[in-house]
Amino acid sequence: MRPLILAAFALALSAVMRPAGASAEDDLVHITSRVTYDARLDQGPVRVLWDLSFKNNDPATSEPGSAGTVLFYENVTVPVLKGASGVSAVSSSGAVLDVALEEVGRGPTMSARVTFDQRVFFGETYDLHLGYELADVRMPSLLVSPTYVYLPVIAGGDEATVTVSHPSGDGWSVSLEAGECAQDGTTFSCSGEDSGFLAAVLEVSRPDAVATLPFELTLREKTINVSLSYFTGEEGTAQHLRELATAGLPVIEERYGLAYLGERSISISQGGRAAVLGYEGLTTCGLTGECQVVVSPAADDVTFLHELAHLWSQIYAGRWLSEGFAQMIAEEAAEAMPEGLVQSRPEEREPATLDLRLDEWGSVSSLIGAKESERQRESAGYDLSVRFLYQLRFEVGSDALKRTNAAIATGVPADSRRYLDVLEETSGKRLDDLFARSVFPDSFKPTLNTRRQARDRFDEVTRRTAEAGLSEDVPNAIRKSIEAWQFEAAFAALDDADQKLGEYEALRRALDVLTQRSESAGLKLPSTIAEEVRTWEFPSARLMFADAAQALEAYVEAEARLGDPRSVWERFGMLGKDPEKDLQRAAAVFAGGDFESAKDHANRARDAIDDASGTAFRRLLILALLLGLMAAGIAASAWFSRRREAEIY
């Protein structure tokens, strides 16, 4: 949405041969006016009538009694709304007066210089009547059609009274909002010194007098069905809006850098001030993604593109992001349109004079009946937001802005903090100083400093992690805390990461030595230890390292003993044992990471070798025992045999 911007309206008074040193503050002329605006559309076009009284208080214009320079006033300039037809003026005596029209600037008014039919000297008063009609007029901030009127109610002079007439029957909607003058119903009173006044803003419409124009347009990933509702009599404007939407939406989509995320149907309609909350337009999207665009019939083409650009605004949570992007992209799209398609543009922005940080702009609220200070704040917010985005585009480039939009579209809508984070990561540039000056309040600077410290330390931890080949799990966990702006938790995690990175160096050196020793022994160190280190599981890696070292020592020792020369006696003791097979099993389970079993197999092989002599002795002892038992058995058998023979005989 954008606030409706009305140009400054002034009543310019001019005189011939004004005495030197004279100024408006001297009240050399005093002008009183009564202005009537008849906007009863059910009775014809809008009619405007000025009754103006010009009193000369300038003593320098006294008619001299002798020869010399004669000073007098002979004309006055009255502001007339552009598009006026039948402009005419007569004096109070009925004399037809000459009226010269001159357009000044791009605002909705032009100058009507009325030349008096007589010279006006000091103390004299000159009265005149000026009138004109407005029918089928269309320009920014001024529109008159058979079913819709939006016009500034202009007055002027030192004292002015304005009366407004409008339809009162059923079916008509009327909004009459006071400007710079005191309001009493449909009458406004203004006063000042040779001043022009925006007395009020008048809107008259027939909400039930509407027609619909359906059409389709194609975007990157989908075809959109559009329903365009417009006031009866605005057929030409409706066709123009259709052309603008058809050509403009694909350009807007490209400038945002992401495909349209909404539903396949869009509703566009013309609406009065109540429908757009006093702005020039209003775009809303429901929870289901269905969007509705409402624009004032008096809005210019760039404003219409601005409202279309808001169809992408759901990716932003910050108002300045939503409005700033909508305006910047609308202006870019207008420049990219085919020549002649964009027929009306807003007045050039005046730099905001209000010191406003964008995060303190505030939420959207109705401008109908708003105070002047509230309007100034709104205008400042719109101006500063788009200027800041142009500055960001200069700093990082359009491509970085597009990639940032695409990135934030995958998560929650971006507020100022998230947008800063993603834009810095996308562009690779530090932008917190810019945001500190334009977006965040001064009270937020300590938080930004803390954020910068956390991010700098995080970048260093990320770099060291990558160089070490460690898993990104720890940096990613820290990143989540930083992205959530939970810096206390982030600093604690950074401290822990720094400590572990220091421990990693010692672990890596020890692991290199262990790997080399394992390879020298013909063993393959499994990847489990390195994986535990890579994933920052240093305590379990140390335990595995100790187990592996013990298994390696047992294996090396057993292998060395296996190669020692053995006597016949020792070979006898090793009959039936296979220490080589035990070592092979030890190597296999070592490679599989079962260091305890590897150590057991290695120890079994070593024990078999070390106990060969003892085993041989035990075996000999057993053999002797067996032989002894056999001899004893034979002797016993012989004894029993002899005894039996003796008993027989």
**Residue 18 pLDDT > 80:** no
What is the Cα–Cα distance from 51 to 292, expressed in whole angstroms? 45
3-state class (DSSP) for residue 224: strand
For the domain spanning 24-205, the CATH number is 2.60.40.1170
3-state class (DSSP) for residue 215: strand
The pLDDT value recorded for residue 571 is 47
User: Rounded to the nearest 5°, which phi and psi values hold at 444?
Assistant: -90, -5
Q: Of all residues in the chain, what percent carry a pLDDT higher than 70?
A: 85
CATH number for 210-438 (one of 1.10.10.10, 3.40.50.1820, 3.40.50.720, 1.10.390.10): it is 1.10.390.10
The pLDDT value recorded for residue 171 is 86
**Residue 459 pLDDT > 70:** yes
* Sequence-ordered list of residues with C-beta below 8 angstroms from that of 558, at least 6 positions apart, any chain: 579, 582, 583, 586, 602, 603, 605, 606, 609
Q: What is the mean pLDDT of residues 309-335?
A: 96
The pLDDT value recorded for residue 15 is 33
* Helix axis angle, 319-336 to 301-309, nearest 10°: 130
pLDDT (tens digit per residue) in 278-292 = 888 999 987 777 899
pLDDT (tens digit per residue) in 172-214 = 999 999 988 999 999 999 988 657 889 999 999 988 889 999 9
pLDDT (tens digit per residue) in 20-63 = 333 445 678 899 999 999 999 989 999 999 999 999 998 888 87
* Sequence-ordered list of residues with C-beta below 8 angstroms from that of 342, at least 6 positions apart, any chain: 244, 301, 302, 305, 334
Sign of CA dihedral 247, 252, 257, 258: negative
Q: Look at residues 298, 330, 297 and name the one whose alpha carbon lies nearest to residue 311.
A: 330
pLDDT (tens digit per residue) in 207-233 = 888 999 999 999 999 999 999 999 988
The pLDDT value recorded for residue 159 is 92
pLDDT (tens digit per residue) in 390-421 = 999 999 999 999 999 999 999 899 999 999 99
* Sequence-ordered list of residues with C-beta below 8 angstroms from that of 133, at least 6 positions apart, any chain: 45, 46, 47, 48, 84, 85, 86
What is the Cα–Cα distance from 30 to 26, expressed in whole angstroms? 10
pLDDT (tens digit per residue) in 462-478 = 999 999 899 999 999 99
The pLDDT value recorded for residue 328 is 97
Q: What is the mean pLDDT of residues 352-361?
A: 92
Distance of CA 220 to CAs 148, 333, 334, 355, 404, Å?
Answer: 36, 16, 19, 40, 19
**Residue 436 pLDDT > 90:** yes
